[in-house]
Amino acid sequence: MKTKTKFETILICLLLLMIGFVGCSNDEDNEKFSFPNHNEENVESFFQTASNEMFNGMRVFFRDTTIKGEAVCVINNEKDFRSAYFGRGQLPQIDFSIYSLVIGKVYIDAGYYLKEQKILLDGKSQTLYLYFEHTKEGAITAFVEYLFWGVYPKLSTREITIKKFNHGIEKNV
């Protein structure tokens, strides 16, 4: 009888230990996603206009000729926002005491749109995930410059890596 009790005790201990290992994940404990806040209509309208202007060849952002490829920047104050914008429109109000503006440009196939974006904060670096979907309408096969933006909870760094996904497939940036 004592052997059966010892065996059951050891079995229960092993099961509890296994549950403990399954419950702990090194990667998931350190990773945290941050999502953009899109509840300001004036911000949405401003960037829609800016996107249209960039699509039509106007350099309202990323005017610097040294920025030829894809780019992303984090703006944490109104002064930096004003100096990054070269258009004629009125800048929207963003509370930079609690938010950061992430703005960038990427090249994508015409006919794709940004479905979702989120930033992975893992304590070491920040990675911006951009998920693109194809529109249901026909489109010319060509690369276009695409302006993206997001108002995120305050970010502590200006360094962000971009990862693009088209239909769930990662595209190199």
pLDDT given at position 26: 45
- Calculate what percentage of the chain has a pLDDT beyond 90: 29
What digits encode the pLDDT tens for the residues 35-54?
998 767 889 999 988 888 87
pTM, entire model: 0.73
> Is residue 3 packed enough to be buried (19+ CB in 10 Å), middle (13-18) or exposed (0-12)?
exposed
> Which are the contacts of 99, defined by CB distance < 8 A and separation ≥ 6?
37, 151, 152, 153, 154
Does residue 136 have a pLDDT over 60? yes
Spatial contact of 83 and 54, defined as CB atoms under 8 Å apart: no
